[in-house]
Amino acid sequence: MTGTQISYYFLCKRKLWLFTNNIEQEQFNDTVAMGRFISDTTYERQKHEIKIDDIVLDFYDAKTKTIHEIKKSDKMEESHIWQVKYYINVLESKGITGVTGLIDYPKLRKTEKVELTNGDKNRLKEIERDIQSIVRSIELPGVIDKPFCKKCAYYDLCYV
């Protein structure tokens, strides 16, 4: 499981299925490209991306044990929060305890603190099971018809 899958799980199960089954169109989408640009430039002076198994953290401050995740907009806040909870859980599974997360929205000058509770850990196990079941299904989940579909990389595939 990856942070991107967690994020898509909350946004759209169809997107999760398409992404996981390697139907990738993300690199051609302007909105996604802008998100990557913000991520690439905001922390130029303190660029400390770290890779653990299949996940990449934008920035991890080892002194304060803080994961920083950089996002463009807070419209998808729930998915961002669970993505960071998942990252904290991965670090804990590697023996790094006492980690917290900060979601930074540079354009909004806003920061959201994220912590992981025991209840969250149980919920993450359920989410993982659910994700496995969705992505292994031979049935592609239906379109969700949300306003943000227009900015999704799979828009043409879903609606045209």
Q: Which is nearer to ligand SF4, 52 or 76 (CB)?
A: 76
The residue from 3, 15, 82, 134 that contacts ligand SF4 (CB under 6 A) is 15
**Does residue 144 interact with ligand SF4 by CB under 6 A?**
yes
Contacting residue, 5, 6, 9, 12, with ligand SF4 by CB under 6 A: 12
Q: Tell me: does residue 149 bind ligand SF4 (CB under 6 A).
A: yes
Classify residue 12 as exposed, middle or buried by CB count within 10 Å of its CB (0-12, 13-18, 19+): buried
d(CA 51, CA 55): 6
Residue 79 phi, psi dihedral angles, 5° rounding: -65, -35
Q: Which stretch binds ligand SF4 (CB under 6 A): 42-50, 53-61, 73-81, 150-158?
A: 150-158
Give the closest residue to 64 by CA, choosing from 95, 102, 92: 102
Is residue 55 part of the contact set for ligand SF4 (CB under 6 A)?
no
Q: Can you tell me the distance from the alpha carbon of 6 to that of 80, in angstroms, rounded to the nearest whole number?
A: 9
Residue selected from 3, 7, 14, 69 as contacting ligand SF4 according to rule CB under 6 A: 14
Q: Is 68 helix (H, G, I), strand (E, B) or coil?
A: strand
Binding window for ligand SF4 (CB under 6 A); candidates: 25-33, 37-45, 101-109, 151-159: 151-159
> Residue 30 CB: number of other CB atoms within 10 A?
9
Which residues in this chain contact ligand SF4 in the complex, by CB under 6 A?
A: 12, 14-15, 18, 143-144, 149, 152, 154-155, 158
